[in-house]
Amino acid sequence: MMRYFVSLFTDMSDMRRRYALRLAGRFAVLVITVLFCILDPAQFEVLHGWNFFRRFSWLHVLWGIWVIDMAAQILPLRTRISLGSQKMWHMRFRPIREMFNERGKLVAEGVAKLKKHIVDTTRSALWVLIVWTGLVAVIGALAFAGVMTDVALFVTAVVFYVCDLICVLIWCPFRLIMRNRCCTTCRIFNWDHLMMFSPFFFTSGFFCLSLLVISILAWLAWEIAILLHPERFWEGANAALTCASCTDKLCTQYCRKLRK
């Protein structure tokens, strides 16, 4: 059995292996968080007010990791970041020649197909937003009722932190709404941190609110890129997003030929 899991891990693409290790790390963060909730809840005082600047705790390390993760989404990076997250940048754009004229503009057929793609994916993204807003509204109601404390909201965010990579590596419920082929083509790939930190809307400390603000900035950068350059997010115009050009091989649970 152990040999099977070792071979399964070694047969992964570099990107998928990296994400699998990150998922293991996120599970470790969740376990540590739960243990501190039980054994040393005073560790979470850093979540309140300006306590972030009054004492150092392991939560500062986690805060730094989260900020770096979000910065990596905003900055144009060529390595170690999946194409699904970085397709907003020109350097990751490989135009399909027959879809563009000599001036680099989409041909008439391409314009019509791109418009349909924009309408379809935007509609699906709005449905995801509605579903997630409903979930966040429930969390907010519990917070205002006093059922969920700042610590409970933080633990919820950590659970979402784990679920984020479960969606990438194992199964994604939002794919049922988005109907995208894989994570590489996903319209909402960089919504992850905003969704993850959405419970922080109901907190007041610097720790949580600073992460929420940065996640909103990362989300805005993504949405502005889609507005200005939608062709980069469409596999009909960007050859880098096609299965044939895939190097990440993250979503092998959906694409059988990438398992080979």
Q: CA 183, CA 35: separation in Å to the nearest integer?
A: 32
Number of domains in the chain: 1
Domain region containing 160: 2-259
pLDDT band at residue 36, thresholds of 50, 70 and 90? very high
pLDDT digit string, tens, across residues 139-193: 999 999 999 999 999 999 999 999 999 999 988 999 889 988 888 999 999 999 9
Q: CA 72, CA 222: separation in Å to the nearest integer?
A: 12
pLDDT band at residue 252, thresholds of 50, 70 and 90? low
| pTM: predicted TM-score of the whole model, two decimal places | 0.91
Is the separation of the CB atoms in 170 and 164 below 8 Å? no
Query: What is 76-111 written as a DSSP string?
Result: --SSSS-HHHHTTSGGG--B-GGGB-TTSPBPHHHH
pLDDT digit string, tens, across residues 2-28: 453 454 456 678 888 899 999 999 999
